[in-house]
Structure 1
């Protein structure tokens, strides 16, 4: 089936677009909505903190394993059947997660749900791209980008509302009606391109699939569990590091010698795609890292609820939603993607420096509004240009292979971001605490004034002198830990900002394809 024969118009295009966006949102919202329900799950399941963490880890592993395989699986089973099957698997597993009676049942169903969800994300991008004419594909990327950028910020407030007003299984049950409707619309309206002959069982690169699943699955597990297990002091983490390295080496070797590789690594010879995969990684790092760090700060340092913390991110998402179509139009009119992407990176750097400046132990909610609006504006200028620029000098099936790389790297960037931020903050907390404690000395007049004032206050409220002294020291220690946490959050913003600033000159060095406003990304399945 020729790419143009997949183009739809009017009502059919609207239905296909809505179906694909809903499926992409289902997948992305599900990665963050569960975070605010973990305590309730842990209580009802009688699980330990370590066990409940596997609910997130299992989904992420399933997700990242399937993303690079979507191009092959679409070709093997047909786009329509593969997409519909993924929605059905995701929907059934949502029901099973809500009904799970043991911890390991829940973990298994979350892994299977992740396998279904990973396919929704990448395939949705291709479906949306293909139903628009080539000259309008910048707009198609903008529509898809809405789901990718807005989705992570919708999860926490939606999850907080459901947990506060219903119970945790409804976090999964809300997927069911959307999944049923999306399946019916997919089978009725979404066309499947002709890929040529399916591969026979003996032509399929089974070893490539095994090595890829082992490498990315082990890497995802290391990133999710490393900090909690204290990294290389844990024999489990060491085992999975070795497994990841061995599987990665065997996977690269296999794909270079195999006649029909499951992932075509030679496509990475393209310079734009190589830089694009790195930028996609950094984009995922910034998107998921900032979505992780801001609610953490507002809840732990400012005492906000999960619902309040989630709502804080909504205006930023609305700004992104407003700007996405405008950026899509700009690309259609011939504005070079590299200039838009470089501007987006610089704006994200400004957002990070702004965050570095406004964080205190008692920052008011008003201080975040314009800062987060700038984040939304910067993100809208990053996603579409990076996606299209990565694929701009590829042709035919290479575009689909390139899209799989950028999609996987965006997901891994988010996982790396959260893992590195968590580890970095633990180390910075220890460093800042040691620095601040050096000020607590008998010959420090500021400390003595504070300390004596607290002791006098506690004694005034009826405490014995020794109790008042202990309470004053405890209060001072709490104050120090609050300042330590804020200093660590500030460091995170500063270093993420520097990382984005460093990317700007590299983006400006990318080549532009003549007429790239009409990029054909029809094979990006």
Structure 2
């Protein structure tokens, strides 16, 4: 099997572009703590850096097919790389959190078209006998990105600054843009762009954006006591209802919601939402928890995340090979994956304030195996009943829903941490009283400790109270994050029985499921 030199360059080009998107989706997470400190941002504010990017990518996935046809596949691919690269520079130059959020949204607009367009370029460039080799190489690049992203981000943050996690995209972006114009060709058969439903797109953006603002700012604004939240809720609900109605009635919808009439596809789309919820929320929470509560460095956090990502990459081709043998239904692989994800969450729900990096190794390995068991089988059963002509729309819809699950999951868990931590802190600090013998004894011990170091009695007593109160607050935050991990796992556990809804005629493993895109 021989591939021409030009075709290998195409593989290199689309893999480089894919690395831009996949590395940046994970590299930022280990720098969030430094961003919060340098930009004076709260946890709720900094979460927009993650959710803004994901939401913008989700919207762009819905437009990628139309834009590719309208502008030309090569031009749209190159434009996506350029927008992504320029936005990366602007992210690195940001001087406050809201500048960073704005440029991350712009970066998401560029990144949203990279993976889907890259995959179509491969499929249309290579003959059938070579597509497997090309997809395997491309898939390796897609898997490497999330694996090395946190480790690379941690090293850069500890040795340079958080700004450089964005600047690192510049050489990749330049190389990918040049190679795109030199080696990627337009397909011989032009695809008519059709008419873009701009009204539906505006309603989708307002609906998603409104829900995001409600989830992120609702607690801060006292929910529906605020006129702003009430107005945003009204606008979001009306726009989403309008979007759904329009997609069900127009002849060329940007997201074909009529596919949800297929039972398996509808259930699979629901599970994609849950998968996005759990995956994005856990990937967001773990680095923040490790650095702000447990005191890990960015490098330590990046290194502890790597084995789990590598395990996911190892499992995906193994599961793909098992699916080809078609001995066990994909449903049971997915069920095992969901159960393992709950095991990961349950393991972290028992964490203690003195946990070290080694504590995370096996829970993250378990999550990595679980993710490997979920991705390809879930794609297989979700798209199994769709006709070939329906698969592009089905993939776009399921990918969009998974991205939205991630944005909502991150926002919901951020709000939950803000409210739950107040409850735990209140409960624990209520026990710090002169009427509590344990508290009195602990304060006496700490006071004597500071007295032995030369402090006056009043200063030693004050320091003792601060120390015991700080310990209580740390314990409260550990309990809050532990609750959060258990809730995330609970979503996966309670949904396992719903996998029975997939049962029907025998599910074959189609060729399009061999490669799972983000």
TM, length-normalised to structure 2: 0.86
Give the C-alpha shift of residue 123 in structure 1. Answer: 3.0
SS in 2 for 1:517: coil
Partner of 2:192: 197
> Does the alignment pair 1:352 with 2:338?
no
Q: 1:194 to 1:515 in 2, by over 3 A?
A: farther
Give CA-to-partner distance per residue, 1:92-151, whole Å, 9 cap, x none.
333444456888776554433221111113334445566788899999888777666664
Q: Is the 8 A contact 2:54 2:404 kept in 1?
A: no
Taking structure 1 as the reference length, what is the TM-score of the superposition?
Answer: 0.85
| Residue matched to 1:92 | 86
Identify the residue that residue 64 of structure 1 maps to in structure 2.
58
Contact 1:57 1:224 (C-alpha < 8 Å) held by counterparts: no
Aligned to 2:391: 399
Query: 2 CA distance for matches of 1:432 and 1:366?
Result: 26
Could you tell me which residue of structure 1 aligns to residue 296 of structure 2? Answer: 304
Equivalent position to 1:429, from 421, 424, 444: 421
The 2-side partners of 1:292 and 1:523 are apart by 25
Aligned with residue 494 of structure 1, among 481, 486, 500: 486
Whether 1:370 aligns to 2:352 is no
The 10-residue stretch of structure 1 (452-461 or 301-310) with the greater mean CA deviation from structure 2: 452-461
How many angstroms does 1:379 deviate by? 0.9
SS in 2 for 1:516: coil
1:243-294 Cα deviation digits (max 9, x unpaired) = 2112112212222232332222211111111111111111112211221222
Q: Which moved more, 1:395-404 or 1:212-221?
A: 212-221
Deviates more, 1:179-188 or 1:282-291: 179-188
- Is the alpha carbon distance of 1:431 and 1:259 closer, same or farther for their aligned partners in structure 2, counting shifts above 3 Å? same
Provide the C-alpha distance between the structure 1 equivalents of 2:45 and 2:482, rounded to a whole number of angstroms. 31
Q: Which residue of 1 aligns with 2:115?
A: 121
Where structure 2 has 5 or more consecutive residues not aligned to the other structure, the ranges are none
Q: CA deviation at 1:158?
A: 2.2
User: Structure 1: 5+ residue runs without aligned partners?
Assistant: 1-6
Contact between 2:124 and 2:187, CA under 8 Å: does it hold in 1?
no
Alignment CA distance shift 1:101-1:320 (3 Å): closer
In the alignment, the residues of structure 2 paired with residue 281 and residue 127 of structure 1 have an alpha-carbon distance, to the nearest angstrom, of 27
Task: Give the secondary-structure state (helix, strand or coil) at the position aligned to 2:455.
Answer: coil
Aligned partners of 2:30 and 2:150 also within 8 Å: yes
Query: Which residue does the alignment assign to 2:171?
Result: 177
Distance in 2 (alpha carbons) for counterparts of 1:394 and 1:62:
27
CA RMSD of aligned residues (A): 3.6
Evaluate the alpha carbon distance shift between residue 142 and residue 340 of structure 1 in structure 2; reply closer, same or farther with a 3 A threshold. farther
Q: For 1:431-446, list aligned pairs within 5 A.
A: 431-446=423-438
Equivalent of residue 206 in structure 2, options 199, 202, 214: 214
Q: Map 1:156-305 to 2 at 5 A.
A: 156-187=150-181, 188-189=183-184, 192=187, 194=189, 196-199=191-194, 203-226=195-218, 231-232=223-224, 234-305=226-297
Q: Residue deviations 1:55-74, cap 9 Å, x none?
A: 55653443232122223323
What SS does the corresponding residue of 2:251 show, helix, strand or coil?
coil
